[in-house]
Structure 1
Amino acid sequence: MTLIRTSLLNAIAVFIKMLTLLGINKILAVYVGPGGYAALGQFQNAVQMITTFASGAVNTGVTKYTAEFKDSLAEQHRVWRTAGTIALSGSLFFSILIMIFSDKLAIWFLKDVSFGGVFIWFGATLVLFTFNTLMLAILNGKKEVGRYVVANIAGSLFSLLVTALMSMSYGLYGALVSLAVYQSLSCFVTFFLCFKSPWFKFSYMVGRPDKKTAINLSKFTAMALSSALCVPISHILVRNHLGETFGWQSAGYWEAMWRLSSAYLMLVTTTLSVYYLPKLSELKSASEIKSEILQGYKIIFPVAVGCGLVMYALRDFIIHVLFTSDFLPMRDLFGWQMVGDVLKIASWILGYVLAARAYWKIFVFSEVFFAFLFYVLVLMFSSFNLEGATIAHAVTYALHFCFMFVVMKKKGIFV
């Protein structure tokens, strides 16, 4: 599976997901407004943190070792069984905690106890949510790109359908519930696709965990937990700062800008996870890794630059089509956000080497340090206007890229 072929296959799922996200953006803009966007961002960050803890944060490791042990089904099954048992026990435990403390979680993340029911829905479907992401990690590691694409398309369609129905019927409460449950509904499609594969049985995913495998997966647990904690927490802090400094409408503009960035960069970021992580896990020599990185810069980086330029040039049109006139103030955020997004892709191409090669100590340090740096820079640059938050984004990833380049040299990949 080549980078170009993977990108083309993945583009099908990404194109559909982008269309659904654009539709969802419009629905949310109409039915929840800028202030609702801020609440959705808070809840999404909560979901990211909780699901990572509940799954044992092993999905990246599952992808890596599934690809690495491509010639040994027994080793693959040992990985799946260990990861599945960890995910099942963790998600059941967290489901109970979420439902018990639903009101407290609603106050903490959403500042409103009336949203406690949203966390009840989330807790009730958490096991399905966790196993959906685990099976996607297995499909990715097996390089079953076709099935992986279909599973992601199903998830996109579920997200559009559920979000549209719930948002139009129940406003912000419905939008939050849809965010809590749609990936859980996708689990049934993903399971069916895996079940139809000759190499898959559900019994391979549950059983006595292997101690050595669990230790190997723990490196990825450390990396995933650092991401799951640092990134959402930094965003929650930034959102709270912007809301308290400029008002929650302004925090909603920043959240809308961030969600828009995630949507248009999806082709690039998903290609990195679908192609690069398994590929870099297979490669042994530094020269092979360097060659793969350079190929990424030749193909992926120009796409990121082109997308950023188009987004900036069409920013007024995009706001009018994808949002409403209430979101017009966010046009001032596009310039520096696009610069930061391009620098993010440049650094991520290098950053995936850390995950693929299990350089977990450096990875954890970088996640903690740059999440903290981003928040500090937001405090510094947003003293006078909201645009400072996007300047902080660009500066953070410029420094992150420099850091990653130095790490690659230290590891002998760049000589």
Structure 2
Amino acid sequence: MARKQHLRQFLGSSVWSGLSTVARAGSSLLINKLFAVYYGPHGITLLAHFQNLIALLTTLPNSGVNVGLIRHLAQQEVDTPAYRSYFWAGLWLNLITFLGVAGAISLFPTFFLERFGEELLTQTGAGGLWLLPIMFVFLLLHLFWLSVLLARQALRAYVFIGLFTSLVSVGIMWGAVGKMDVFMALVLFLAGQSISGLVGLGVVLSKRLVPVWQMQLNPEVLQNLGKFLVMALSTLVGAKLVDFVVREMAIQQFSLLETGLWQSVVKISDSYTMVYVSLLGMVYYPRIAALLPQPEALREYVRSVFFLLVPAVGAGLLFFWRQRDFFIQLLFHRDFLAARDLMEYQLLGDFLKMTAWVLSYIITVQARVKLYILTQLVSGVVYVGLVAWLMPLLGLDGLPLAHALRYGLYLVFHLYLFRSYFFAS
């Protein structure tokens, strides 16, 4: 009975998750299509690199501070002092961590900005570049409001903001792509993502989720959120920075065009992975956070979701592989069909990764900081090592193979770590 109840709760909440995710994935796919048609593989490479730069700047606030907020705000009522303390501490930490990462990136402009830095300056002018930090601030607000809504399980409001952001982003890109330089189109892409910062503010105010102003920061609150921040730092280095480095390695080994073929496969992967991550983030993570004080109920819930998702993911990826030519042409352009052979190892790696994520979220919600950092950093180092070894030997094929081997090891580790979840009485 407990398993059926868990599945009903999971599937019911997944309806709202699905609406938001379909909108986000659909807009992402359409934007990829526009860049592929008008700018080719070269444009896809630059889009991926720019999105990776955005991820570098927002990982600590969103994957660290906001993830911690979801856990702690989910366990508090809005009118409590604890809710107020976590809310304002989270907002301040968002800004501080963003400024810290931005400062670090500014120390190495050649490495991080060489692919588009000078061109952006030419297109926008020195004065126009001041708009970029403002856009990032609004993007941070947008992500913060979403975490607050998730913590309170206000999924309808969450979906509304997601739909609004998707429609605005697609509208801006539809009018910009092909009519201006690729670098200016990238700036407008950021604008489309950040505009919901103001809309989200209106939504959380209407929901009365903004507590009374509190300037003083509670040391215990900072310590609790700091655990998630440290974990996100390992994600920043072991995942986002590693992706940036690997893409730079590919560009230097091959070219923007050849790298774009590999990136088209990665972007297809990112699109359905976005659906999966949104499902886990909106439904699974808040639920296991709430069940944390009940270990047996937590194990039962994890088992139920695991045995529901893994076969579904496997079947979906198998179907995708069989129809890969159709999807490549649909989502990009027939000029990208040369990338079809890269999809086999990419899809295998994605299956292993998505399976492991069901278990790795438990480490996050339990705030097992040292273990989380170890897995992220080791996984990133292994991936870079595999790429450095396989890419010269196999060419582009070495990149997705390294991806599959990386997550094969990642899954084996998590299955061993949480073996008690599958053999509990």
TM-score w.r.t. length of structure 2: 0.89
> Structure 2 vs 1, CA of residues 334 and 202 (structure 1 numbering), >3 Å: closer, same or farther?
same
Match 2:271 to one of 235, 241, 263: 263
Give the aligned residue type for 2:344. Answer: G
Deviations 1:14-55 (A, max 9, x none): 222222222112101012211121122222222111223467
SS in 2 for 1:176: helix
Give the aligned residue type for 2:362. Answer: V
1:227 aligns with 2:232: no
Deviations 1:85-125 (A, max 9, x none): 22245556777x59x95993686352652224586442122
Match of 1:281 in 2: 289
Match 1:242 to one of 221, 228, 250: 250
1:167 aligns with 2:172: no
> Structure 2 vs 1, CA of residues 60 and 53 (structure 1 numbering), >3 Å: closer, same or farther?
closer
**What is the 5 A alignment of 1:323-338?**
323-338=332-347
The answer on whether the counterparts of 1:34 and 1:253 sit within 8 Å (CA) in structure 2 is: yes
The answer on whether the counterparts of 2:57 and 2:98 sit within 8 Å (CA) in structure 1 is: no
Return the alpha-carbon distance in structure 2 between the equivalents of residues 202 and 33 of structure 1: 48
Match of 2:115 in 1: 110
- Of the structure 1 ranges 309-318 and 70-79, higher mean CA displacement relative to structure 2 is found in 70-79
Return the alpha-carbon distance in structure 2 between the equivalents of residues 29 and 102 of structure 1: 32
1:188 aligns with 2:193: no
| Equivalent residue pairs, number | 410
Give the superposition deviation at 1:290: 1.6
The answer on whether the counterparts of 1:70 and 1:76 sit within 8 Å (CA) in structure 2 is: yes
SS in 1 for 2:73: helix
1:297 aligns with 2:297: no
Match of 1:44 in 2: 51
Match of 1:397 in 2: 407
Identity %: 23
Give the aligned residue type for 1:273. Answer: G
SS in 1 for 2:242: helix
Deviations 1:262-314 (A, max 9, x none): 11233321111111211111112332222111111232222211221121111
Return the alpha-carbon distance in structure 1 between the equivalents of residues 23 and 296 of structure 2: 36
Unaligned runs of 5+ in 2: 1-7
1:7 aligns with 2:14: yes
Give the aligned residue type for 1:274. Answer: M
> Structure 2 vs 1, CA of residues 252 and 314 (structure 1 numbering), >3 Å: closer, same or farther?
same
The answer on whether the counterparts of 2:119 and 2:183 sit within 8 Å (CA) in structure 1 is: no
- Of the structure 1 ranges 132-141 and 117-126, higher mean CA displacement relative to structure 2 is found in 117-126
1:139 aligns with 2:149: yes
1:376 aligns with 2:381: no
TM-score w.r.t. length of structure 1: 0.91
Match 1:322 to one of 331, 351, 371: 331
The answer on whether the counterparts of 1:66 and 1:142 sit within 8 Å (CA) in structure 2 is: yes
1:207 aligns with 2:212: no
Unaligned runs of 5+ in 1: none
Give the superposed CA RMSD: 2.6
Give the superposition deviation at 1:174: 2.6
